[in-house]
Structure 1
Amino acid sequence: MARILVAEDDDNVRSFVVRALQMSGHDVMDASDGGLALEIVAEEDGQFDLLVSDIKMPVMDGISLALSVGATYPDLTIVLMTGFADQRERAHGLDALIYDVINKPFSLAQLVEKVSDALAGRPAEIIPLARSAL
């Protein structure tokens, strides 16, 4: 069982992710934006096994959250989520900081598998970016 923090501004997505991870046996806390998530990480002195965060959120987005958390707690594994291709591209430069980005919408099985892989330290699946037609 891992201790996981979920940061997601969409109530429905946050609820789905939290329930899925709890059903998988994890101890899960959640925050509705990156600013609150950063406060929770600080209050808990980084004592999480995994941070799962949406990229696009009000107050503090997932990229800023990952940069802040990674600077203070470099051993905390981070998985980002996004439904926007341009946001995934923004995360591309954070390869050393984040484990991977999971694309929305995702299934329960995809989420659980990605979290299991991240917690086990298995290499993330590399998906090459599409090349433009010549």
Structure 2
Amino acid sequence: MARILVVDDEESIRGFVSRALMLDGHRVEIACDGAEAFDTLSADPEGFDLLLSDIRMPLMDGIDLAKSAASQCPALTILLMTGYAHQRERADDLDRVIHDVLSKPFSLADIRGAVVGALQSRRQAA
């Protein structure tokens, strides 16, 4: 299974998503903001298969994290999440960097499906 970094400033979202992905057999690490996530990625640039990050966060938002992560870890698949329509629009120009943007709120089936799709695209690109 995949190694996934889940990033969200809301503990309830981090917990929900990470538990669901662990139940699916993935190895999951969490970060509460983009700066912490970037430090985690920088410490192990080849170690993660997927970055699953909220867009709106303090310190470093998901857009800046996605750009930085893509340059630091070019093989990393990136999936963003947001509950704000205008934040989703900010991600539109990142098509070559991110796989997709998942709208909040989402169901368990939604997050699982989005992760499967992102990981399948990673395998096809390899």
* Alignment partner of 1:14 is 2:33: no
Q: What's the CA shift string for 1:5-37, capped at 9, x where partnerless?
A: 011000101100100110111000000000000
Partner of 1:3 in structure 2?
3
1:66-124 deviation line (CA, Å, top 9, x unaligned):
000001111100000000000000000000000000000000001001100110118xx
Distance in 1, Cα, partners of 2:18 & 2:74: 23
Matching residue of 1:56: 56
Q: What amino acid is aligned across from residue 53 of structure 1 in structure 2?
A: S
One-letter identity of the residue aligned with 1:104:
K
Q: Give the superposition deviation at 1:45.
A: 2.4
**TM-score with structure 1 length normalisation?**
0.89
Higher alpha-carbon deviation: 38-47 or 18-27: 38-47
- 1:17-28 equivalent positions in 2, closer than 5 A: 17-28=17-28
Which amino acid in 2 is paired with 1:33?
D
Q: Could you say what secondary structure the match of 1:30 adopts?
A: strand
Match of 2:67 in 1: 67
User: Which residue number corresponds to residue 97 of structure 2?
Assistant: 97
Q: What residue identity is the alignment partner of 2:120?
A: A
Residues 79 and 98 of structure 2 are in contact (CA less than 8 Å); yes or no, is this contact kept in structure 1?
yes
**CA–CA separation in structure 2 for the residues paired with 1:72 and 1:97:** 12
- Give the aligned partner of residue 77 of structure 2: 77
Report the counterpart of residue 111 of structure 2 in structure 1: 111
Q: Please give the alpha-carbon distance, in whole angstroms, between the structure 2 residues aligned to 1:108 and 1:50.
A: 18
Answer whether contact 2:70 2:97 (CA < 8 A) is retained. Answer: yes
Structure 2 unpaired stretches of 5+:
none
| Structure whose residues are more often helix by fraction | 2
RMSD of aligned residue pairs (Cα, Å): 0.9
Aligned residues: 122
Which structure would you say has the larger Rg?
Answer: 1
Q: Percent identity?
A: 53
Unaligned 5+ runs, structure 1: 123-134
AA in 2 matched with 1:82: T
